[in-house]
Amino acid sequence: MTPPVTAPAAHPAQHPHPHPALAAADPEIAALVGAEERLQAGTLRLIPSENYVSPAVLEASGTVLQNKYSEGYPNRRYYEGQQVIDQVEALAVARARDLFGVEHANVQPYSGSPANLAVYLAFAEPGDTVMGMALPMGGHLTHGWGVSATGKWFRGVQYGVRADTGLIDFDEVRALALKERPKIIFCGGTALPRTIDFAAFGEIAEESGAILVADIAHIAGLIAGGAHPSPVPYADVISTTTHKTLRGPRGAMLMSRESHARAIDKAVFPGLQGGPHNQTTAAIAVALHEAARPSFRAYAETVVANAKALARELLDRGFDLVSGGTDNHLILVDLTPRHVPGKVAAKALDRAGLVVNYNTVPYDTRKPFDPSGIRIGTPSLTSRGLTVAHMGAVAEWIDRGVAAAGRGDEDALAVIRAEVAELMAAYPAPGLPV
């Protein structure tokens, strides 16, 4: 029998288009998605807040759960037809409780910033004093920093790290808390290379009568995987994104003891949000399921081992690291001794296929939009399978890239980019078409 004659396919049969409906309906966006896929595949992502989700998380977040409105909570909705969605959200909540060992979890916040805003709504009134780490010291905007709504509608008082050690000074935090009596104290941040002492914050919050919020957005995956201590015994509320080390979809969760459950749930809905993003809820449930597996513990351990090895290799090449190294997934490099501004270095490294972000260092003498440091991390490269054995090469590329940035050597950056692409081709990214 002769096979039927078919029209030549736009793509060879063994490589069907990864997004055929999108390509047919909107070639422009399909082309941009393809370009982003190639960019993510061919570069080394060193941004510590980014990661690659698994194919399962990616599929869950692209489902028809998207089509459903579900204002309210399981079995208490304002829309009918929740027979399935209720089960999805209940499963996500149960998995969050099991994984982190908490009594209550709310999986509806759209992202980390709205999750934190819900905490203010639950526990403070406009004008109240709140305390967090200053943004240029490594805190987050939503911890009461001036340009954020949380710093405009609340009175933010801020602590930092010591200039000599790069570490949090708990005497300073305690003195500030007892003087200012904040309603809420935030701990955690976006550029903290060291273990957070949740017990010390817990004591200070108790002494000063504040609600302690542990914002574990960056380190949730490390905590779930046993590679960083848990705030559960000490924090009143735990706030986290789901898309950083936890390797879930872009989203967030608030966790607490049962005694705060009502306040948190009311603040998220109806206080702040409308309908939850059910496709995201499903993808969070999948990510939590994956994070409960033994392989995720190995992942979290390798993230930290890789960061420690990379820090060592950078120190060996004369780099100045804030706090002298790392305990977690993140390294903050002060480029002042190299005489290359952080932004110049970050942009040059990007051209070399090494994706980092420029970042302030504590007591930075330069402006936040043009600071002295770069921030790098190992969650993404660990998701692609790189190990401690690769960290010498990564440090060498960063060293050569910063040097090339300093002398404006585009040819040297192009050579690095080709070397990076060659290594990354051997370590395909989860979720990306080959």
List, by residue number, the catalytic residues: 69, 71, 215, 241, 244, 250
Question: Is residue 241 a contact residue for ligand PLP (CB under 6 A)?
Answer: yes
* Residue 19 structure tokens: 């997004």
Whether residue 101 contacts residue 230, with contact meaning beta carbons closer than 8 Å, is answered with: yes
Interaction pattern, residues 275-314, with ligand PLP; x per rule: CB under 6 A = ----------------------------------------
Q: Pick out residues in 94-113 that bind ligand PLP (CB under 6 A).
A: 111-113
* Residue 365 structure tokens: 């003498």
**Dihedral of the alpha carbons of 175, 177, 180, 186, in degrees to the nearest 10:** 140
DSSP state of 417: H
Question: Is residue 51 a contact residue for ligand PLP (CB under 6 A)?
Answer: no
Cα separation, 80 vs 49, in Å, equals 37
Residue type, position 134, single letter: A
Question: Is residue 140 a contact residue for ligand PLP (CB under 6 A)?
Answer: yes
Q: Which residue has the tokens 């296929």?
A: 353
Please select the residue that binds ligand PLP; options are 54, 190, 230, 279, rule is CB under 6 A. Answer: 190
Question: Is residue 61 a contact residue for ligand PLP (CB under 6 A)?
Answer: no
Question: Is residue 375 a contact residue for ligand PLP (CB under 6 A)?
Answer: no
- Quick one: residue 339, left, alpha or beta (phi over 0 = left, psi -120 to 50 = alpha)? left
DSSP result, 252-303: EEEEE-GGGHHHHHHIIIIII-SS--HHHHHHHHHHHHHHTSHHHHHHHHHH
Backbone phi and psi for residue 162, each to the nearest 5 degrees, phi listed first: -70, 145
Question: Is residue 382 a contact residue for ligand PLP (CB under 6 A)?
Answer: no
Question: Is residue 242 a contact residue for ligand PLP (CB under 6 A)?
Answer: no
Question: Is residue 215 a contact residue for ligand PLP (CB under 6 A)?
Answer: yes
CB of 213 to ligand PLP, least distance (A): 10
Q: Which residue has the tokens 């809820």?
A: 281
Looking at beta carbons, which residue is closest to ligand PLP? Answer: 112
CB of 366 to ligand PLP, least distance (A): 22
Please select the residue that binds ligand PLP; options are 183, 218, 247, 277, rule is CB under 6 A. Answer: 218
Strands 252-256 vs 104-106: parallel, antiparallel or unpaired: antiparallel
Question: Is residue 362 a contact residue for ligand PLP (CB under 6 A)?
Answer: no
Cα separation, 27 vs 18, in Å, equals 13
Question: Is residue 189 a contact residue for ligand PLP (CB under 6 A)?
Answer: yes
Question: Is residue 50 a contact residue for ligand PLP (CB under 6 A)?
Answer: no
CB of 142 to ligand PLP, least distance (A): 6
CB of 105 to ligand PLP, least distance (A): 17
Please select the residue that binds ligand PLP; options are 217, 284, 398, 413, rule is CB under 6 A. Answer: 217
CB of 190 to ligand PLP, least distance (A): 4
**Residues forming beta bridges with residue 238, ordered by sequence position:** 214, 255
Catalog residues that contact ligand PLP under the rule CB under 6 A. Answer: 49, 111-113, 116, 140, 142, 188-190, 215, 217-218, 241
